[in-house]
Amino acid sequence: MADSPFSLSGRVAFVTGCGSQGPGWGNGKAIAVTFARHGAAIFGVDLNPAAAEETRRIVEGEGGRFVAGTGDVTDRASVERLVAECLTEFGRIDILVNNVGLSLPGDPATMSEETWDAQIDVNLKTAFLCCKAILPIMEKQGKGAVVSTSSTAALRYTGKPQAAYAAAKAGLVQFSRVVAIDYARRGVRLNCVLPGLIETPLVAKLAEDFATKETGTTREAFYARRHEQVPMGHMGEAFDVAHAALFLASDAAKYVTGTEIVVDGGLTSAVRN
């Protein structure tokens, strides 16, 4: 593995949103475990300490290195503390994964200003704050890779009103492009992964929420609808996202910066919603 361009041996990855919102594999959890399997030491951050600890147990159970950090990455002081903890533990940061995110429905007429601000904070400001703290470290080291989890909602209407989420995820893509050019000659690459419909614990929770007497929608119908939307006929899994992130973080992508990988089974190329 050490000779593979996909090897992350000797590198430290700072992964936000490293846990899952329930049993199973969320994107951040799969990314952290995949990076560890390819040799990286992981500093995993999550708002939920138990979720981070679950990921730590998996990584350490497979012989990897993982330190869990708890904090709110919408807060600058919290980000600076977490970055300092990572440096104390590992002495460097080679990879930053901006993976926190949350989608709340609504259009400008129905959404509260507080919800709008919170959506921008969690989906976009978090990447700004983490980059603000970590890019200077990478520049001093002479090399680094930033991978941010955006969404196909950044590219097209995905079938539900989520104006703030879509705007923030589109902003994340353009933020990454612009900063990538600024840092192209400083040895730091920035790219995004854009997941489409991925089967995760969060989706399972949404399915349960929709399976109510009020909506008359069953969990099975919810899943069937999502599978049907995808040209391939099924949702993806978190490791599909993780493998794209691995490519972008590794030397296999050493000439790739300021761009995106769409992981959606053909969804954004289709006309239907």
Strand partners, 44: 15, 68
- Does the structure show a pLDDT above 80 at 215? no
Cβ contact 241:149 at 8 Å: yes
Phi and psi angles of residue 151, each rounded to the nearest 5 degrees, phi first: -170, 155
User: 58-67, 98-107, 204-213: lowest mean pLDDT where?
Assistant: 204-213
Q: What is the pTM of this model?
A: 0.95
- Does the structure show a pLDDT above 60 at 213? no
- Does the structure show a pLDDT above 70 at 273? no
- Does the structure show a pLDDT above 70 at 32? yes
Model pLDDT, residue 263:
98
Measure the CA–CA gap between 155 and 161, rounded to whole angstroms. 14
Does residue 165 have an active-site annotation? yes
Model pLDDT, residue 2:
59
Model pLDDT, residue 43:
98
Measure the CA–CA gap between 47 and 19, rounded to whole angstroms. 9
Give the architecture-level CATH label for domain 12-198+237-265.
Answer: 3-Layer(aba) Sandwich (3.40)
Of the pLDDT bands very low, low, confident and very high (cuts 50, 70, 90), residue 212 is: low
Cβ contact 29:65 at 8 Å: no
Residue 59 CB contacts under 8 Å (≥ 6 apart), including other chains:
32, 33, 36, 42, 44, 65, 66
Catalytic residue among 157, 165, 183, 223: 165
Pick the closest to residue 48 from 95, 97, 121, 100 (CA basis). 100
pLDDT per residue as tens digits for the range 9-18: 999 999 999 9
Residue 157's CB: how many other CB atoms inside 10 A? 11
Here the tokens at position 54 are 């679950």
Measure the CA–CA gap between 43 and 229, rounded to whole angstroms. 36
Measure the CA–CA gap between 18 and 135, rounded to whole angstroms. 20
